[in-house]
Chain A
Amino acid sequence: MKHIKTMNKANLKESAKKGGCGNCQASCQSACKTSCTVANQKCER
């Protein structure tokens, strides 16, 4: 494309279909203990 460069393989929709196993880390347990930055958590699958 000439005008737009897409940066990632966006997969939020796909992740919803097979997601929700609940085995990933509780975000507040990581480094912050105050605010929630969830998008930097790892998927366990």
Chain B
Amino acid sequence: MIHKYKLNGFNIVLDVNSGGVHIVDELTYDLLDNVEPPFEEKCPQKVVEKLSKVYSVEDIESCYDEIVELYNEKILFSEDDYEKYAKYSVASPVKAMCLNIAHDCQLRCKYCFASTGDFGQGRKLMTLETGKNAIDFLLENSGDRKNLELDFFGGEPLMNFKVVKQIVEYARSREAEYNKKFRFTITTNGLLLDDEKIEFINKEMSNVVLSIDGRKEVNDYFRVLPNGQGCYDMILPKYQKLVAGRGDKEYYVRGTFTNKNTDFANDVFALYEAGFDQISIEPVVGEGDEYALTEKDLSVVFKEYENLANRILENEKNGGKFNFFHFMIDLDQGPCAIKRLRGCGCGNDYVAITPDGDIYPCHQFVGMEEYKMGNIDEGTFNQEMKADFANCHVYSKPECRKCWAKFYCSGGCNANNYQYMGDVRSAHKISCELEKKRLECAIMLKAARTFGEQE
């Protein structure tokens, strides 16, 4: 399978199954509409005749030879032979956990997926005892996985900062005994950040996600206190201070865009101009939600992703540099094909824990009773459901099987699939369309950086 498209003056051909990316001329682009394996020794006469109205016969024949050469090198029209690996997709050790340390939040963000922090389950903080049980669960269930990931999430995790610190201390005290390495991450709205917390986060957290929506007016429309006041001025200086002390550790300023700010490239650049160089801006998706992007927004959003990509190139030409999360792609040394078959690993090697100790496949499933997998404090864990998630891969999802982007998004978000399509294996179309557009832009950016801008 190949996927070809034109963007920003580049004719781009992705060989889906090898990951090969080729920049081709107009002739090749047209010829690829007319030929496919099995290849003959010479370009079929019928095809030559058809294209010779525009191109010279000599060029058509030499172009055909190049296509066949790449086919023989297995980087064009290469075979999809990964399904056999998917069949080995059995339950894995649990090695990553989202700890919903606080089902409470001071903000009332208008697009919040977690019912303003409590996931519809009442406002609660996790106890140290449940937190320790979660650490023990991870240590006991992680098999031979050396790196264990624990994300402090919420609600707002800093509302339970004392327990965050105690859990980190407890986990560190057990690393040597189990020969494990914990990687902590935290996602915060910033309101409670102070010098002590900043210092702790910069010491202990391998990544920190700082929520802010870009331009002040956008942030302050959506990210508000219960009295309606926007939080931008309260959080921005704290984020700047945290990032200044971060060294080379990872962080992201992370915003959300909705159907009200489809000009979100301005939000990305507002964050860049505020001094940040690791930026993620995510769309709100959903069905029937007031702020969610719908099919009618797609053409505008696609244009805006292209606009963002162009502004990034322009900025780089002027010596600027930042990472936009969704345009980062490693075409040479990214994750292995096995990893790409089932992506996030939710419900299998990744789970979320609520303050009550309930286990869910991930934070997006929290509150859906039918997807409660067990309870940390009670020692229950539904292995049947775990096995079902282990089997949730691009070959068990009908739309993904035939999709060109399957090895880049790896089957998308199972929770979105369930929420909006009723089945974890049924791809959520709008999410897919957005993901594909971002990939096309990401690959184009690579091409522009490698070959320079096209005339």
Across the interface, B92 reaches (CB within 8 A) one of A8, A15, A22, A28, namely A22
Contact B446 A10 (CB under 8 A): no
Interface string of B141-164 (1 = CB under 8 A from A): 000011101010100000000000
Q: List 19 A-B contacts (CB under 8 A).
A: A3-B24, A3-B28, A3-B59, A4-B70, A11-B18, A13-B337, A15-B335, A20-B336, A22-B349, A26-B95, A26-B349, A29-B151, A31-B252, A34-B113, A35-B413, A37-B408, A38-B335, A39-B407, A39-B439
Whether a CB of chain A sits under 8 angstroms from the CB of B410 is: yes
B187 interfacial contact with A, CB 8 Å: yes
Instruction: From the candidates B59, B92, B334, B338, name the one contacting A39 in the complex (CB within 8 A).
Output: B334
Alpha-carbon distance between A21 and B69 when the two chains are bound, in angstroms: 33
A30: nearest residue on chain B (CB-CB)?
A: B207
| B334→A40 contact, CB < 8 A | yes
- B330 x A39 contact (CB < 8 A): yes
Interface residues of B in 78-113 (CB under 8 A from A): 78, 81-82, 85, 92-93, 95-96, 98, 113
- The CA-CA distance from A45 to B92 in the complex, in Å, is 18
**Closest chain B residue to A15, Cβ basis:** B336
Q: Which residues of A contact B23 (CB under 8 A)?
A: 4-5, 7
Distance, CA A5 to CA B350, complexed state (A): 39
Chain A neighbourhood of B337, CB < 8 A = 12-13, 15-16, 19
Asked whether B410 lies within 8 Å of A29 as measured between CB atoms, the reply is: no
Interface pair A38/B98, CB less than 8 Å apart:
no
Query: From B328, which residue of chain A is reached at the shortest CB distance?
Result: A40
The complex places the Cα of A40 from the Cα of B334 at a distance, in Å, of 6
A28 to B407 alpha-carbon distance, docked (Å): 16
Which among B27, B326, B343, B407 has the highest number of chain A CB atoms within 10 Å? Answer: B343
Q: What is the interface of chain A, defined by CB distance below 8 A to chain B?
A: 1-13, 15-16, 18-44
Mostly helix, strand, loop or mixed at chain B's interface?
mixed
Residues of chain A within 8 A of B431, CB atoms compared: 35
Instruction: Name, among A30, A33, A44, the residue most crowded by chain B CB atoms within 10 Å (CB to CB).
Output: A33
Chain B interface residue count, CB cutoff 8 Å, equals 91
Q: Does B438 contact A (CB under 8 A)?
A: yes
The list of the 6 closest CB pairs from A to B, nearest first, reads: A19-B336, A20-B338, A10-B20, A16-B337, A26-B96, A15-B336
Interface residues of A, dominant DSSP? loop
CA A3 to CA B439, docked complex, whole Å: 24
Q: Are A7 and B153 in contact (CB under 8 A)?
A: no
Report how far A11 CA is from B146 CA in the complex, Å.
25
Known A-B contacts A3-B24, A7-B446, A10-B19; the reply to A38 vs B343 at CB < 8 A is yes
Q: How far is the CA of A30 from the CA of B81 in the complex (A)?
A: 29
Residue B403 lies at the interface, judged by CB distance under 8 Å to chain A: no
Select which of A20, A22, A27 is within 8 A of B93 by beta carbon.
A22
| Cβ of B435 under 8 Å from chain A | yes
Minimum distance in angstroms from A33 CB to a CB of chain B: 7
Alpha-carbon separation in the docked complex, A10 to B252 (Å): 29
Give chain A residues whose Cβ lies under 8 Å from the Cβ of B363.
Answer: 33
A44 contacts B18, C-beta separation under 8 Å: no
* Given A26-B350, A41-B335, A43-B336, A8 and B66 contact (CB-CB distance below 8 Å): no
When each residue 394-431 of chain B gets 1 if its CB lies under 8 Å from chain A and 0 otherwise, what string results?
00000000000001111111001000000000000001
Verify A34–B364 contact, CB threshold 8 A: yes
